[in-house]
Structure 1
Amino acid sequence: MKNLIVGSIVALSAAMASQPANAALLFDVYGEAQYWMTDVSGGYGNDENFNDFQLSDENQTRLSLAFQHPVPLIPNIRIETQDMSSYEEFDGTEDAASSPAELDLSHDTLTLYYTFLDNTLVRLHAGVAAKRFNGFVTDRDGNSWDLDETIPTAYAMVGTGLPFSGLSVYARGHLLAIDDSSLRDIEAGIQYRLFSAGGLLDGNIQVGYRSFSVEFDNVAGLYSDVEFKGPFVGFQLHF
């Protein structure tokens, strides 16, 4: 998925560079790269009485590509791939025979959404998404869980811009709550337009804060309550 997104952005950039100044795509394309500095906390196990771990703080990356079009009733598409991992840091009190726990919640997301408002002043998007987890989890006792699960979520994004400044603020989120399982992926940020090439290509920098928490209740035999949170910096190309 990561290679697909990167390749698509490069191909679109080359295509736009080769077009005459008055040419334009029939749809908008948004390519984003996000570097996320996370504080990781929580725990997991094979039943509800799991222990919390001292999880390492790691830097994560996300790549995404969104296609927006003017055709009514047909949803827009956003695809993304997220690296998300951590491991247990021993403090010297553990059994020497123990192995550090590892946590890999990396996943791909497909989002279908509608743009109820989308202009320089106000943006309002809403839809549904599916997060496909393709990682694994291990604990210090040698137990392991392969995460091959697809989890549906609701999706929404709101934003507002300050006219003639290049500045805007936004908030985006994926939410799910089913029985005792829940997933929340929320970010809020400030975006600044670095450059604009005649309305054919915009480059934007983003800074903000993001929180991802997941509580699994017997999902593939796993019980968990884990949170990744921290500031991020990102770059967006808009074709």
Structure 2
Amino acid sequence: MMSMKMKTAAALAAALFSLNASADFLRAEAGIGAFNAAPSGTFEPKNGNPSLDLKDDLGIDTENDLYVWAYVKHPVPVIPNVRLEYLNLTHNPNGSSSFNVSELDGILYYNILDDTFFVTVDIGLDVKYVTSGSKGFDDSETLALAYARARVEPLDALGLETLVKVTNYQDNKGYDFRIKADYTLTSLPVIQPGLEIGYRIHKVQYAIGNYINKGEYTGVYGGLMLRF
């Protein structure tokens, strides 16, 4: 019969193994940075009045816009993982004319592949709360988009990633496409900082109140990351 010491050692080893396995599957990341967004497109009233061109009428030009993201991945297979994103496109060239778009995304997703042969694939649903305004007008809408993300890590510290969101129903159409590379200091324990740089195409056609925002924002982005 196994001695008390052996039983205790076996129980301790099992507990440590379980804790390590949970740590491997419970992960969180966050990032903040700037999107060098070059805008184009129009802001169109539904009542037939002339549309406003973002460049010609409002004088909107390329600016560095704030973005923030974070996600949590847990080991429970039935419950979806969670990703949050925020994008603030505020273009105010001269104080008298401006165009603002603020987007808050809550994404529920599942891992189809989770670092399988260095590949991760996620699919899910994005619920986006967007506000948009120009020249005193301000309104908001909630939208649904399909979400997919694919990532390859050829090296432990290096990641290559693409992310896409798509919507197409009623007056709401568009997509958000990103491709990036990131480098993380994986040698550090607990909290691992990193850098990301990529390119983004954010094309929207959102019905916001009595207006339709038809805009496209393209450019490079870059920022800081933290892995937990």
Aligned to 1:203: 193
Q: Deviations over 1:210-235 (max 9, x none)?
A: 11111135x31102311111001122
Aligned to 1:183: 174
TM-aligned CA distance change 1:135 to 1:45, over 3 Å: closer
SS of equivalent residue, structure 1 residue 84: strand
Alignment partners' CA distance in 1, 2:96 and 2:43 = 13
Q: Which amino acid aligns with 1:103?
A: F
Aligned to 1:146: 138
Cα pair 2:44 2:214 within 8 Å, conserved: no
Aligned to 2:183: 192
The one of 120, 124, 139 equivalent to 1:123 is 120
Alignment partners' CA distance in 1, 2:141 and 2:35 = 23
Offset at residue 101 of structure 1 (A): 3.6
Q: Which runs of 5+ in 1 are unaligned?
A: 1-21, 90-98, 139-143
Name which one, 1 or 2, has greater alpha-carbon Rg: 2
SS of equivalent residue, structure 2 residue 53: coil
Aligned to 2:65: 60
Aligned to 2:101: 105
Cα pair 1:40 1:86 within 8 Å, conserved: no
Aligned residues: 201
Instruction: Say whether 1:220 aligns with 2:209.
Output: yes
Q: Which amino acid aligns with 1:201?
A: I
Q: Which amino acid aligns with 1:208?
A: G
> What is the 5 A alignment of 1:84-103?
84-87=89-92, 100-103=96-99
Alignment partners' CA distance in 1, 2:186 and 2:155 = 15
Aligned to 1:141: none
Offset at residue 100 of structure 1 (A): 4.5
Cα pair 2:30 2:227 within 8 Å, conserved: yes
Higher strand share: 2
Aligned to 2:150: 158
Offset at residue 103 of structure 1 (A): 1.3
Q: Deviations over 1:178-234 (max 9, x none)?
A: 134213111100111234324x332221111011111135x3110231111100112
Offset at residue 173 of structure 1 (A): 1.6
SS of equivalent residue, structure 1 residue 157: strand
Aligned to 2:16: none
SS of equivalent residue, structure 1 residue 71: coil
Q: 4+ residue runs of structure 1 moved beyond 3 angstroms?
A: 22-26
Q: Which amino acid aligns with 1:169?
A: L
TM-aligned CA distance change 1:220 to 1:112, over 3 Å: same
Alignment partners' CA distance in 2, 1:38 and 1:58 = 6
Aligned to 1:238: 227
Alignment partners' CA distance in 2, 1:106 and 1:148 = 9
Cα pair 1:145 1:222 within 8 Å, conserved: no
Q: Which amino acid aligns with 1:131?
A: K
Offset at residue 158 of structure 1 (A): 0.3
TM-score by length of 1: 0.76
Percent sequence identity over matched residues? 22
Aligned CA-pair RMSD = 2.3
Cα pair 1:145 1:220 within 8 Å, conserved: no
Offset at residue 51 of structure 1 (A): 4.1
Q: Which amino acid aligns with 1:223?
A: I
SS of equivalent residue, structure 2 residue 153: strand
SS of equivalent residue, structure 1 residue 196: coil
SS of equivalent residue, structure 1 residue 162: coil
